[in-house]
Amino acid sequence: MTAGKLRIGYIPLVDAAALIVAADLGFTAAENLDVELVREVSWSNVRDKLNIGLFDAAHLLAPVAVASSLGIGHVRVPIVAPFNLGLNGNAITVSPRLFAALESRAEGDVADPRVSAQALARVVEERKSRDAEPLTFGMTFPFSHHNYQLRYWMAAGGIDPDEDVRLVVLPPPYMVESLTNGHVDGFCVGAPWNSVAVDAGIGRILHFGCEIQSRVTEKVFAVRERWAADHPETLAALIRALAAAASFTEAPENLATVSAAIASRLGVTPELVGRALTGNLKIAPDGQVRATSRYLMIGRNGAARPDLIQAAWIYAQIVRWGQAPLSEESLMLAQAVFRPDLYDAAVGGSPPAGPGEPGDGIGAFIGPAFVPTDIAGHLAAWRAKRSGRARLSVVR
């Protein structure tokens, strides 16, 4: 069955790179696909338009794909994700004022998330003791790694993210403005918004997402399960085009071309896009740079291949933060979203992730290694940790 013109929704973020490059630099055309990228303003719109068929496919938050398939938070529509558009790519940015507060209370280097989480807990306790308003943090969507990474980090310091701070959903373009006028004290968001805040002199990147967890599936290329079944050849061609685009995006010699293509879709400068793609990010208004090869991974180290461990990890976060109860059936539904089989069939297999990748597939900065078959154990370990909170406040 031919699909005709394909309408694919996306949010203007750097991690739509493979999709933008595929459509705008000829990779979908090479597969004889007629693709129209449709820019959207909210994840709710992307999800709804994908769900009801106004989009054939979409650039989607991986946790939204899982939530949609589980029917939590919204209508249940089974989604499949045969291609990862990006791993990692987020950062936690805080106001200069909060950064100064964290530094003054840090027992060690505040660049270490274990240290910063403890420092944050002290700031939170102090505010509580003088009846000050709780700190407010922005994140992009209830089902997002932005939400989960903020919570993971905070909880590591003994903070209850539901009680001790305020987490508010903010559309990415509003993040910087909200930090400027003090509506939030910090946020977790994808590129290029952290860099925009740093350049504006109103934010300081505290942690990269990859410092919280070394490897998480941030965005997926999502289609309805039904659509995938009805259009197997079109889908395979799309996966091939995306895989070729991802390789092209990752090749250092293409940086200028790729940055320019993405920048024109996002309405920012290519330089800003280049920072996220190369992992060389200015983290402070004074020009300090932090570099990593893990900031945003598009195609390297097996990044594009769907990974069932990631599905289990996302489901574990959904359960941990009370968005859904734990059940074996839901775990299976969550894992059914990620389709390495479709990926392998389309591109003819993938090289293994290779050295340097975390042993448990996630690489969280603290806590036990993740065992996808033992989510209950993972949650229990954190519950035990949480009960240590009372002790922390007494010590303080």
Partner 1 sequence: MAETRKGSDASSPGSQPQGGQRDSSLKIAIVDESPIRAAILEDGLREAGFTQVQRIAETHNLLVRIYAMDPDVILIDLESPSRDMLEQMFQMSRSVKRPVAMFVDQSDTASIQAAVDAGVSAYIVGGLKKERITSILDLCISRFNAFHRLQTELDQAKDALDERKVIDRAKGVLMKAKKFTEEEAYALMRKTAMNENKKIVDIAQSVLTAAELFK
Interface residue list for partner 1 (CB under 8 A)? 41-45, 48-49, 52-54, 73-76, 140-142, 168-171, 173-174, 178, 183, 323
Shortest CB 222 distance to partner 1, Å: 17
Given the complex with partner 1, which of 37 and 245 has the nearer CB atom? 37
**Are the beta carbons of 80 and 228 closer than 8 angstroms?**
yes
Alpha helices in the chain (DSSP H): 17-24, 27-30, 43-51, 62-70, 96-105, 113-129, 145-156, 172-180, 193-199, 209-212, 225-230, 232-250, 255-266, 270-278, 308-320, 328-337, 340-347, 375-387, 389-395
Given the complex with partner 1, which of 53 and 349 has the nearer CB atom? 53
**Are the beta carbons of 221 and 81 closer than 8 angstroms?**
yes
Shortest CB 156 distance to partner 1, Å: 21
In whole angstroms, give the CA distance from residue 157 to residue 71: 32
Shortest CB 169 distance to partner 1, Å: 4
Given the complex with partner 1, which of 265 and 294 has the nearer CB atom? 265
Given the complex with partner 1, which of 44 and 257 has the nearer CB atom? 44
Shortest CB 85 distance to partner 1, Å: 19
Given the complex with partner 1, which of 54 and 381 has the nearer CB atom? 54
Shortest CB 230 distance to partner 1, Å: 16
In whole angstroms, give the CA distance from residue 63 to residue 159: 23
Question: Which residue in the block uniquely carries the two structure tokens 């805040």?
Answer: 197
Given the complex with partner 1, which of 50 and 94 has the nearer CB atom? 50
Question: What phi and psi values does residue 236 have, to the nearest 5 degrees?
Answer: -60, -40
Burial of 45 (0-12, 13-18, 19+ CB in 10 A): middle
Shortest CB 152 distance to partner 1, Å: 17
